[in-house]
Structure 1
């Protein structure tokens, strides 16, 4: 019985299933990335510099246009699928974003 329990909850098996799921959604190229983590401050800095209306990252006056193609070229993320502008808007009274931002101050 104990052996069966270990087989069912084997982390390697779960990780393999997760990777298969990621591949099936078209994000397999992300699994090939050698980056282990991104510093939180760097990620937050990029988010601060991102203008979602113009779809650009503005760093010291230099603008990097963010397109489906540029994201696909850099990360291998598939193009097409869900149209982000058709998703529900974040509720204005939700404080989660503000609480998250406080972690970086």
Structure 2
């Protein structure tokens, strides 16, 4: 992607709710250039690709942000990323209780 194309992509991505400059840069690094390119994506896969590309673990809140971004691209749902944090934490608590019950 040329520098001019990257600037356009960064601007377009930041028009998506929950996407600021840092998230936009991560999405551009993964090859995305706007909301249309994010439709149908798997947020968990995007998160794993980001960690692999950066070579370091990412904050799980980035996964929540990716979930919010893909939901917006797919359905127009513009809930804040932290709504997805609550869902993730609730699911993790259920899984934790289930694994403790089976132990």
Scaled by the length of structure 1, what TM-score is found?
Answer: 0.25
With a CA cutoff of 8 Å and minimum separation of 6, indicate the structure with the bigger relative contact order.
2
Greater share of residues in helix:
2
Scaled by the length of structure 2, what TM-score is found?
Answer: 0.26
Greater share of residues in strand:
1
